[in-house]
Each structure stands twice: as C-alpha cells, then as structure tokens.
C-alpha cells in the first residue's frame, strides 16, 4: 500500500467525519441529545436519545432473546 493512498484515506476520513457531524447536529434549541449507560437486565447498555423536538415521545425498541 502506498503512502499516498494512506494519506488520502486519512484526509478523506477526517473530511467525512466533519461532514457527518454537521449533518447530524441538532440545531433546534428545543431538541434533545442525551447519552449514557442504562442497566437493562443485569447488563449496562449504552443508550442514545436524539430528537428535534423535546416534546416528542421516545419509543425504545429492546429486542428480547428467548432460549
């Protein structure tokens, strides 16, 4: 793999990360963006809640695996 190819990928990755961050930004002051660990069963799970309107309801979907 050439050094130019690696450098190109590093530069493009950074550009894409910045572009995606701008697209995903919640610009509304009434929006919500929360994240943290929640214990589900006996396992800590990372949960992220994002939305444009704070008054909108949250509908979690937690698949239950049965044996």
**Structural domain for 30, as ranges:** 3-51
Residue-level pLDDT at 15: 92
Question: Whole-prediction pTM value?
Answer: 0.50
Report yes or no on 21 lying in a domain: yes
Q: How many domains does the chain have?
A: 1
Report yes or no on 27 lying in a domain: yes
Report yes or no on 11 lying in a domain: yes
Report yes or no on 30 lying in a domain: yes
Q: What is the C-alpha separation between 11 and 54, in angstroms, rounded? A: 36
Report yes or no on 60 lying in a domain: no
Report yes or no on 59 lying in a domain: no
In order along its 67 residues, the chain shows pLDDT tens digits of 677 788 889 889 999 999 998 888 887 778 888 889 999 888 898 888 888 887 888 777 777 766 6
Residue 51 CA to its chain's centroid (Å): 12
Residue-level pLDDT at 50: 85
């Amino acid at each position: 793999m050439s050094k130019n190819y690696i450098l190109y990928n590093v530069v493009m990755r950074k550009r894409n990360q910045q572009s995606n961050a701008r697209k995903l930004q919640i610009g509304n002051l009434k929006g919500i963006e929360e994240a943290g660990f929640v214990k589900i069963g006996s396992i800590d799970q990372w949960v992220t809640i994002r939305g444009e309107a704070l008054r909108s309801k949250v509908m979690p979907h937690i698949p239950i695996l049965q044996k």
